[in-house]
Structure 1
Amino acid sequence: MQSILATLVDPATTPPVHPVGAESDRMPVARYLISDLCAYLETYLPPEQVSEFYRAYLFGAEAHEGQSRKSGEPYIYHPVAVARILAEMHMDYKCLIAALLHDVIEDTPVDKEQVAEVFDEEIADLVDGVSKLSQIEFESRAEAQAASLQKMLLAMTRDIRVILIKLADRLHNMRTLGSMHPDACRRISRETLDIFAPIANRLGINRVRVELEELGFLHHWPWRRHVIQRALQKTCGVRVEMVSTVETALKQALHQEEIHGEVEGRRKHLYGIYRKMREKRRAFSEVVDVFAFRVTVDRIDTCYRVLGLVHNLYKPVPGRFKDYIAIPKANGYQSLHTVLIGPQGIHIEIQIRTEDMQRMAESGIAAHWLYKSGEQSTANATTLASEWLQNLLVMQRAAGNSVEFLDHVKIDLFPDEVYVFTPKGRILTLKRGATVIDFAYAIHSDVGNTCVAARIDRRMVSLSTNLRSGQTVEIINAPGAKPNAAWLNFVVTGKARASIRGYLKNLKQREAQVLGRRLLSAELGTFGVDLDSLDPIRVAAYLEEANQRTLDDLLGDIGLGNRLAAFVARRLAGGDEDETTQAMQADKDLHPHRLAIRGTEGMVVSFARCCRPIPGDTIAALFSPGRGIVVHRSECRNLGSLETKRDKRLDVEWANEPDGEFPTEIRVEIGNRRGALAVVAGAIAELGSNIENVHSREKDGMTTALEFLILVKGRAHLARIMRRLRQIPLVLRITRIPR
């Protein structure tokens, strides 16, 4: 153990590195003596907690004995560095112990139970939350990555310190990424830019977010970064005098008004410039024209005094003022932002905030530990973080798998925000481009699920309307309403997308169970058996054999076409699955039981687009595994030979009174004349049919073929429409597609 202690380098001789600028790109990364780290901890932790931390160091060092990193240095360097990053945030001692041990479950024989025994359950849970799912086999790297991230994010919902440890772990890994293979560097950098930097931003930890972005940019796009860096150096060299002039003018203005405040000019981060160029499709010269200056004062009312002062000093740019003090960002960030026309006509951005807001901007949710807050700003950040974590739980419950869950999270991690109001004045922060549906789901999943209409500033709007900051949105709900799959085409927030998909999946499962019950009941009828009167012992035995948990699961499997009702019925009625299917088919031929198609079966019964069957057509159906039943017209050529598909065929017929409207296509050939399309469309609407789509193509110079996709109630309804169209003089010919 002493050899490990001796090899750690004293931070007094090797300063810590924060590679935000170009000058720090290739500097060595700091290594810390455990004694110096313990000395630092003594500045804010009691001695007994520092002693426990040191005991954890000895435990971790022993567990990692003989292990080394890619760079060749002892592995214990890494957890010590991670603990140092968290110590600078003044995290509690249990979080620091978990940081020291964060890799022992994953990379050593030590398990969670042993950590809990030596320390406690809380520390063991933190360590386990950061550990990857390395003991499970996955089909792909993407699936393994998504599952591990899902595990970590769900652990984060129970204890936010899990993600703080992971961010510190990722930050030190990025600082030492140069020893990795170039392909691994790019993969890890891409993951950092896509997941970890946005999470740091979402939690308001700006200092960590900036460094993760800069290091990710350096390793993923080194040449692009080099080009921007070189261009920025040329630009900044020319305008250093301008920055000094603005700083001096701001300081003099504050002094004249006897306002105590700090003024700091800052250069834009390279990745921020690159991202703005890419997202807004702007040239480099348009992006770097905005120089930022931060004014830090003591109180909130002073912030607004300074705002008036700078607007009097330089002319403000209309529409470029943002009040994040009155309406904080989703991560709790607060500040006043205004863009002014500075010397030489160059745009300058002024950010005005209090000292508390500045600490909050740098540390985010970590400020909850750093300043032991009873402060309003950190309390707001904690509340906002808790709301986001609750949204993660909603997305997790609605997602079908870990990859889908990660997709929802990625959508939710880039919130260029809009701020809208409820009718009662509550402010909701949504991602830019959010729609009325996103707003409804942000209030509550039940509000989104039953949304039918909305008003924006008391005017009725469509559900796909994009929201703008400052609008008041009122949602109109109906008890029997349910989500529409078409909503997925325009919603932008992860919570809305996950909730809609989750509801539709559950709806499809319920519809499959209803259809499966009908199919199984019909087949059991051939044996003179009723589903409700089956022997429970026989049912339980078959469920176990079929690897189904409940009868509803079995019915759903039948409804989705994954299992044939005829075979299930024979087994439940007492037959043997090895009996020949020919005998079963002969039985069906003698005693046909046709399933009545009502049109209300939902997503488990679909109508083939190749032939567009409607009530009145002779129909046949095939099972499609996972989809359920696909209904065709009997003469549809895509059915092929039903004799070769006996195991998938299902005898169906239309119910006596089918419900709903069914799509079908007709081709109308008309003479070329102005207004002809309007005349034909008007005649179709006159007979109560809705036009879903229309496509036109000119056959020759005299005639045009119009192909309509319309909704009808059946063949009789279609016949009335076609008779009416034939009465129009311009109509030369009308046919149904396909014939």
Structure 2
Amino acid sequence: MSNIQETKLTDDQLIQAEFDALLEEYLQSNHRRKVERITKAFNLANQAHAGAKRRSGEPYIIHPLAVARIVCGEMGLGSTSISAALLHDVVEDTEYTVEDIKNMFGPKIAQIVDGLTKISGGIFGEQASAQAENFRKLLLTMSDDIRVILIKIADRLHNMRTLGSMPPAKQYKIAGETLYLYAPLAHRLGLFTMKTELEDLSFKYEHPEEYKSISDKLKATEEQRNRLFNLFREPVDEKLKAMGLNYEMKARVKSVYSIWNKMEAKNVSFEDIYDIYAVRIIFDPLPGVDEKNQCWDIYSLITDIYRIRPDRIRDWVSRPKANGYQALHLTVMGPDGEWVEIQIRSRRMDEIAEKGFAAHWKYKESAVEEDTELDKWLQTITEILESPDPNALDFLDTIKLNLFSSEIFVFTPKGDMKTLPQGATSLDFAYALHTDIGNRCIGAKVNHRLVPLSHQLKSGDQVEILTSRSQEPQPEWLNFVTTARARSRIDAVLKKAKKEASKAGEEKVIAAFRKAELEANTSNLDKVSMYFGFPKREEFYYAVEKADVVLPENIKKLIKEKSDNVLFKYVKQAFGGGNKSQKKEDAKKEEEKEKPKFDKSKPYILKEEGFIRNYVLAECCKPIPGDDALGFINDDGNVVVHKRSCPIAMRLKSSFGERILNTQWSSHETAMFDATLSVKGIDSVGVLTSITKTIAEYNVNIQRLLIEANDGMFEGKIKMKVHDVEDIQHMCVALSKLKSIKSVGRIAD
């Protein structure tokens, strides 16, 4: 037998084994048996993808099979979703059409496959330019049949599990958009297990060293955790058994990504994270006893044994989260003197928490309430979709506000309840009632007490909104609204007002040109706006109208001076002034000239020769040699370097993946980079001298030192020039050893 035949046989065996595993998982579920339909879908997909291979070298059909297994085994969906998952790439990658699918499998599966095909571009594919439009399509399709997004999440989960075969630049792009979009979506749909895995896998590819370091530490402390858990569970086991309960108790370890997030947010080490594990109790309700009451019975039993922390009780049993999550959370003092979180759930609650409420709310055989919280969420999203002209990235950020929210429940004076995100303000509540009420809001009465627009609401508050006809939305309102609805409504009014102000400013500028007997052509207007530091004319006109820019008496003199200035010509060229057709031609030549520079199969080496660098440092995160970094090719063909963890970089990865480069620092022995340290501690005599003396031992150049003391404590920022991350690390270690210093760390300034 030839090698080709052997490979084929091996591939066929692999495919058959995967399909058999899928059928076995399906037959173990409690769905109606529709094996023929699944087999028919598999046979069509297998034949359509015949001969196609994935980058890893395995047959392409393995991917749809893996997605179908996730949909079946990890989401608990039935034959319709499994068949659609098997067929999800057929229309996009082969000759088959949606009409063919409809004729063979009926309208429902065809509709889901069509939805998946429509959203395969944009943020989900290579073309990022149509991103907002594709996201609109995705969310509008969701409200039609949510199985589209569930299968899309399963598809992304399998792609993340097999991301190792991709080149690094592609890994950053896919990991970035997964963390930015898919993980929040999975969380909102109640797919907690998947959300955690998506976050961990993204983190693993973006920060491999940190991922390995935390994973190793978790492994090293596993034995100690198990010992503490066993100590904790013994007395609880005894009481639960006495109740006659059928239950399981297990320790759930915090995910690597969550631990890292907490370390970053609180600027602490792994050893300072105390809530690394939580105890989960999952029980089968006793016959004739309400499962909610049973949760409280278990709560009572635990608090008889261990001391409770009252401010950490979370009752999601009586009022579930919007994504369907139900559980009773409490925190008690463990036998080792550390706080331990306990989650109490029934088997049904656990099923929903693991496989997602979305998989259950609409597709059960019996009648189900359609008016769920998820429906309300989709309705809110649909309203945002209809708002005028959303910018692609702003639009995604607005949507993310809703994806991440935890809920509070607030009441009108008449007793009507509104669900709002945690941290929502009285202004958010006003917009939740009606756009006009939000736009005219001047304050509120919370529990009959007068409060400002920025007042944060709590669950159970009764809120009355106060309005005035003369009130209009202000730019600072955006600083304290948290709901996507409020933000999009305020944005719409502000954009309209800004447009009108720009128009009025333009008239003033043109009047000034007429007075100076100058032609108000594009070239002259560009010169003046760029002289005042505005690359866009609309921004310049707006500044003129708002009196932030005062036009000189003689504009003619200004233009003549600046036209003769070489530097001005360079600025004009950089910002794109001059003849448009010439600009396009120059840009085209420049682009063609730049293209061969970037070989994405190899890391782009960040070099510095003399005073010339082959890259630009991003102002938002100011990376330095040693930081995990990536490159972004901007419109000018320059490589802008960001930290991989930078929020702006995350947006770029999810929106302009094709422009992302894998970068590598060369040795920067002579070069110096900006870095800022934040220092906090106890105010004492000579503390400033100790700090400066310690820093002086390293070959760095302090540029600015600002320290403020208050109530016996001090906070300081030290801006300096350093060679690399190692300088910073050594300094932080040395400073943290000083008696008065309580915390020290690098910050973006």
Structure 1 and Structure 2 fold alike (TM over 0.5)? yes
Deviation at 1:160, TM superposition (A): 0.8
Deviation at 1:7, TM superposition (A): 2.5
Structure-1 residue corresponding to 2:345 = 353
Question: Among the aligned pairs, what percent are the same residue?
Answer: 38
CA–CA distance in structure 2, aligned partners of residues 626 and 99 of structure 1: 52
- Alignment equivalent of 1:457, drawn from 447, 450, 462: 447
Structure-1 residue corresponding to 2:82 = 96
CA–CA distance in structure 1, aligned partners of residues 382 and 461 of structure 2: 28
1:188 aligns with 2:174: yes
Spell out the pairing of 1:396-415 with structure 2 (5 A cutoff): 396-398=385-387, 399-415=389-405
CA–CA distance in structure 2, aligned partners of residues 353 and 227 of structure 1: 33
Deviation at 1:5, TM superposition (A): 9.0
Per-residue CA distance 1:216-256 (angstroms, 9 max, x = gap): 22222221111112222232322322211212221112223
CA–CA distance in structure 1, aligned partners of residues 144 and 554 of structure 2: 53
1:8 to 1:371, Cα distance in 2 relative to 1, 3 A: farther
CA–CA distance in structure 1, aligned partners of residues 125 and 319 of structure 2: 45
Deviation at 1:396, TM superposition (A): 1.5
Structure-1 residue corresponding to 2:525 = none
Task: Provide the secondary structure at the position in 1 that maps to 2:445.
Answer: strand
Deviation at 1:284, TM superposition (A): 2.2
CA–CA distance in structure 1, aligned partners of residues 376 and 216 of structure 2: 42
- Alignment equivalent of 1:51, drawn from 27, 36, 41: 36
CA–CA distance in structure 1, aligned partners of residues 189 and 83 of structure 2: 22
Structure-2 residue corresponding to 1:7 = 11
Corresponding letter in the other structure for 1:502: A
1:315 aligns with 2:288: no
Task: Provide the secondary structure at the position in 1 that maps to 2:53.
Answer: coil
Per-residue CA distance 1:7-59 (angstroms, 9 max, x = gap): 25569xxxxxxxxxxxxxxxxxxx85324434543555555x43233222232
1:629 to 1:179, Cα distance in 2 relative to 1, 3 A: closer
1:389 aligns with 2:378: yes
CA–CA distance in structure 2, aligned partners of residues 453 and 137 of structure 1: 39
Q: Would the aligned equivalents of 1:133 and 1:147 in 2 still touch at CA under 8 Å? A: no
CA–CA distance in structure 1, aligned partners of residues 55 and 27 of structure 2: 32
CA–CA distance in structure 1, aligned partners of residues 459 and 40 of structure 2: 53
Spell out the pairing of 1:407-426 with structure 2 (5 A cutoff): 407-426=397-416
Deviation at 1:178, TM superposition (A): 1.0
Structure-2 residue corresponding to 1:162 = 148
Comparing 420-429 and 183-192, the one that deviates more:
420-429
When the two structures are superposed, what TM-score results if normalisation uses the length of structure 2? 0.62
Task: Provide the secondary structure at the position in 1 that maps to 2:336.
Answer: helix
1:198 aligns with 2:198: no
Deviation at 1:213, TM superposition (A): 1.9
Larger Rg, first or second structure (1 or 2) = 1
1:315 to 1:466, Cα distance in 2 relative to 1, 3 A: same
Structure-1 residue corresponding to 2:325 = 333
CA–CA distance in structure 1, aligned partners of residues 553 and 303 of structure 2: 72
1:41 aligns with 2:51: no
- Alignment equivalent of 2:204, drawn from 218, 229, 238: 218
CA–CA distance in structure 2, aligned partners of residues 103 and 492 of structure 1: 37
Comparing 144-153 and 323-332, the one that deviates more:
144-153
1:641 aligns with 2:556: yes
When the two structures are superposed, what TM-score results if normalisation uses the length of structure 1? 0.63
- Alignment equivalent of 2:298, drawn from 295, 298, 306: 306
1:230 to 1:479, Cα distance in 2 relative to 1, 3 A: same
Spell out the pairing of 1:481-560 with structure 2 (5 A cutoff): 481-505=471-495
Higher normalized contact order (CA 8 Å, seq sep 6+, divided by chain length)? 2
- Alignment equivalent of 2:420, drawn from 425, 430, 437: 430
Deviation at 1:477, TM superposition (A): 3.8
1:256 aligns with 2:242: yes
Deviation at 1:201, TM superposition (A): 0.7
Per-residue CA distance 1:348-391 (angstroms, 9 max, x = gap): 1111122221111112224416982769xx859x7111111111
Corresponding letter in the other structure for 1:182: P
1:124 aligns with 2:116: no
Name stretches of at least 5 consecutive residues in structure 1 with no aligned partner.
Answer: 12-30, 516-557, 567-584, 590-607, 612-622, 646-739
Per-residue CA distance 1:140-175 (angstroms, 9 max, x = gap): 954345543343223212211111010110111111
CA–CA distance in structure 2, aligned partners of residues 68 and 334 of structure 1: 43
Aligned residues: 528
CA–CA distance in structure 2, aligned partners of residues 365 and 504 of structure 1: 38
Q: Would the aligned equivalents of 2:119 and 2:138 in 1 still touch at CA under 8 Å? A: no
- Alignment equivalent of 1:368, drawn from 355, 360, 366: 360
Name stretches of at least 5 consecutive residues in structure 2 with no aligned partner.
Answer: 286-290, 518-528, 561-749
Deviation at 1:272, TM superposition (A): 2.0
Structure-1 residue corresponding to 2:740 = none
Structure-2 residue corresponding to 1:271 = 257
1:81 aligns with 2:66: yes
1:285 to 1:469, Cα distance in 2 relative to 1, 3 A: farther
Per-residue CA distance 1:325-349 (angstroms, 9 max, x = gap): 2232232211111111111202111
Task: Provide the secondary structure at the position in 2 that maps to 1:328.
Answer: coil
Per-residue CA distance 1:464-523 (angstroms, 9 max, x = gap): 1223344332223456754333311221222221122134445667x69xx9xxxxxxxx
1:335 to 1:460, Cα distance in 2 relative to 1, 3 A: same
Deviation at 1:624, TM superposition (A): 5.0
1:237 aligns with 2:223: yes
CA–CA distance in structure 1, aligned partners of residues 70 and 92 of structure 2: 21
Task: Provide the secondary structure at the position in 2 that maps to 1:400.
Answer: coil
Spell out the pairing of 1:661-680 with structure 2 (5 A cutoff): none
1:434 to 1:293, Cα distance in 2 relative to 1, 3 A: same
Q: Would the aligned equivalents of 2:292 and 2:318 in 1 still touch at CA under 8 Å? A: no
Corresponding letter in the other structure for 1:342: G
1:417 to 1:136, Cα distance in 2 relative to 1, 3 A: closer
Deviation at 1:441, TM superposition (A): 2.5
Task: Provide the secondary structure at the position in 1 that maps to 2:341.
Answer: strand
Task: Provide the secondary structure at the position in 1 that maps to 2:404.
Answer: coil
